[in-house]
Amino acid sequence: MTTKPVLLAVNDELPLLSAIERDLRREYGADFRIVCATSGSEALATLKQLKLRNEAVALLLVAQHIQEMTGVEFLEQAMDLFPDAKRVLLTASTDTDIALFAMNQVKLDYYLRKPWDPPEEQLYPVLKDLLADWQVAYRPPFEGLRLIGHRWAPNTYRMRDLLARNQAHVQWLDLETSEEAHRLLAALGSETLPLPVLLFPDGSWLADPTPIAVAEHFGHALHAQLPFYDLIIVGAGPAGLAAAVYGASEGLRTLLIEREAAGGQAGMSSKIENYLGFPAGLSGAELTRRALMQATRFGGELLFPHEVTRISVEGSTRLVHLADGAVLSGHTLLLATGVSYRTLDVPGSERLQGAGIYYGAGMSEAKLYRDQDVYLVGGANSAGQAALYFARYARSVTLLVRGLSLEESMSQYLIDQIAATPRITVLTSTRVVEVKGEANLEAITISNTITGETQVLPTSALFVFIGATPQTDWLDGVVERDEHGYILSGLDLLQDGHRPAGWTLERDPFPLETSVPGVFVAGDTRLRSMKRVASAVGEGAMSVRLVHDYLRGL
Ligand SMILES: Cc1cc2nc3c(=O)[nH]c(=O)nc-3n(C[C@H](O)[C@H](O)[C@H](O)COP(=O)(O)OP(=O)(O)OC[C@H]3O[C@@H](n4cnc5c(N)ncnc54)[C@H](O)[C@@H]3O)c2cc1C
């Protein structure tokens, strides 16, 4: 529920302040919150708190003679915080000159002479007009999180992206363009805080926070609730989420660990159109929201944001080591860590990551490029989906494709939609060979792979979708992987009919079982997986059945 806008009265004569409060409450209490202060500094401190809580202030009603500063001096400072609030000065009959001066100095809307009895004649008609005027421009304040920072600062982008991927309701305030951002920093008492600053609806805030600090602020459990689990799942993409739903629903003590954002790659998809049961498609964010609700409803536990850095084995116990040093144990593990985007290998690209060069869809950025020209690199479905999404906002979208045609790498339904979107241009046989810019991306150089012709294109946005690889080095020496890092399972582990080294059981590995008994793998990180949402979900679900089989043998 939106909180009522505030009417602030300031006067150091207590009987008079009580009278003002009573008069204001009687007439305006239903629609406004009446707040009183007895000095200028108390009133300014109150205004700062209101600013941080994103509450609206409609009226400042201040006596000229108050402690510590004059009413005009107070209004001068209050204007910096709430420039749109109506300003009324309460004056004595000798203060007319001051009031007239204040009309210009602090753009005073009105001055009232004390006493104003009866209020029905002397006070309410004036305030009624002012408040009606204020209401015309009033927009109820945003009630979610507010993030203040510099658009091109990579750590600000990372936080913006993290919040977007975790489906937080966030208002982005860019210090280059937003006066409100400066007002908020002033209310925090420092323009030199480490950025970005994240403000919560209750007025609390964090400067340059870590993901863990944000999660803690939201009240997420940062530690596992149980000493031992039947199933610990690493990675909350579609495979991990499906395993959590099936594991928890079948009574297994199930823990799901995620380092960034539930949903994994699928969470970055603007529209998944080929997932069974959703003929009109659904966004990755929606799929994730539903899956998380389902998993937790069945009693699955989510530990987030935590990175798993190692796994180990002690007898029949499987151990998971977290980046913060915590160690969790269970009977079985599922590795559902998916794949991570491949980065562009051209001069300058590393430095400009998050400052114009974005990986993994950059969905949080699309709206910032309204009416601008953006470039996307990649010819697979993820690039196609993103091109269609960006075309909703950008003036033009150019898709740079290395292959001879999109048909080589993209589903036909996306090719058809791209062809039907005039804002999207596709340049085939094209590679990005250089990126330019100091603080942020300013231009890219592209080269035609057939003619060798190069071209410099000015742009501040390059979104890169050039495939992904598993990041599984942390599993080195524990489970068997191929030369690209994909994890081997089931029959792939049998070399000439021989079981993997160190395998002690009297049976072959189960289909999704790795070279370590009781440690399973599902989804994109598995060798020979299909790289689709549906197949990741299928493997996640199937792994739970195999976990049951394994547990029966313990
Ligand atoms: C933009 C985009 C659009 C796509 N669109 C479609 C589509 O329309 N249809 C379709 O079928 N497929 C689509 N895909 C592919 C699909 O999203 C993937 O195949 C699917 O997400 C794979 O699921 P997964 O659970 O195996 O892995 P991922 O989705 O990659 O999830 C793995 C998760 O594990 C976490 N993780 C990794 N390492 C660790 C660690 N050490 N500790 C803790 N957590 C860790 C990651 O943060 C991540 O959240 C798309 C992919 C992208 C990028």
Asked if 39 and 74 count as a contact pair (C-beta separation under 8 A), the reply is no
For a substitution probing ligand 1, which of 165, 265, 270, 292 has the most ligand atoms within 8 Å of its CB? 265
Residues in the chain: 554
Instruction: Specify which residues 67 forms β-bridges with.
Output: 39
Burial (CB < 10 A; 0-12, 13-18, 19+), residue 223, is exposed
Q: What is the pLDDT of residue 456?
A: 97
Query: Which residue's alpha carbon is at the smallest distance from atom 41 of ligand 1?
Result: 308
- Residues 178-200 as b or e (16 or more Cβ within 10 Å = b): eeebebbbebbeeeeeebbbbbb
How many angstroms separate the CA atoms of 432 and 465, rounded? 12
272 lines ligand 1 (CB under 6 A): yes
Q: Which atom of ligand 1 is nearest to the CA of 386?
A: 1
Asked if 519 and 490 count as a contact pair (C-beta separation under 8 A), the reply is no
pLDDT digits (tens, 9 = 90+) for 423-442: 999 999 999 999 999 999 99
pLDDT digits (tens, 9 = 90+) for 252-307: 999 999 999 999 999 988 899 999 999 999 999 999 999 999 999 999 999 999 99
Query: Which residue's alpha carbon is at the smallest distance from atom 15 of ligand 1?
Result: 532
Instruction: Specify which residues 359 forms β-bridges with.
Output: 464
Asked if 74 and 62 count as a contact pair (C-beta separation under 8 A), the reply is yes
- Residues sharing a CB contact under 8 Å with residue 104, sequence separation 6 or more, in sequence order: none
How many angstroms separate the CA atoms of 359 and 377, rounded? 10
338 lines ligand 1 (CB under 6 A): yes
Q: What is the pLDDT of residue 362?
A: 65
532 lines ligand 1 (CB under 6 A): yes
Cα–Cα nearest to 381, from 279, 266, 286: 266
DSSP readout, 358-411?
Answer: EETT-GGGGGGGTTSEEEEE--SHHHHHHHHHHTTTSSEEEEE-SSS-GGGTS-
How many angstroms separate the CA atoms of 538 and 266, rounded? 14
Cα–Cα nearest to 441, from 341, 369, 360: 369
What spacing in Å lies between the alpha carbon of 279 and ligand 1's midpoint? 21
Instruction: Specify which residues 60 forms β-bridges with.
Output: 8, 87
Cα–Cα nearest to 274, from 537, 97, 547, 12: 537
Ranges of the chain whose pLDDT falls below 70: 1-2, 361-362
What spacing in Å lies between the alpha carbon of 259 and ligand 1's midpoint? 13
What spacing in Å lies between the alpha carbon of 341 and ligand 1's midpoint? 10
Q: What is the pLDDT of residue 361?
A: 63
For a substitution probing ligand 1, which of 533, 537, 542 has the most ligand atoms within 8 Å of its CB? 533
How many angstroms separate the CA atoms of 285 and 271, rounded? 9
What spacing in Å lies between the alpha carbon of 435 and ligand 1's midpoint? 28
Q: What is the pLDDT of residue 143?
A: 86
Whole-structure pTM value? 0.88
For a substitution probing ligand 1, which of 165, 246, 269, 324 has the most ligand atoms within 8 Å of its CB? 269
333 lines ligand 1 (CB under 6 A): no
Q: What is the DSSP letter of 481?
A: B
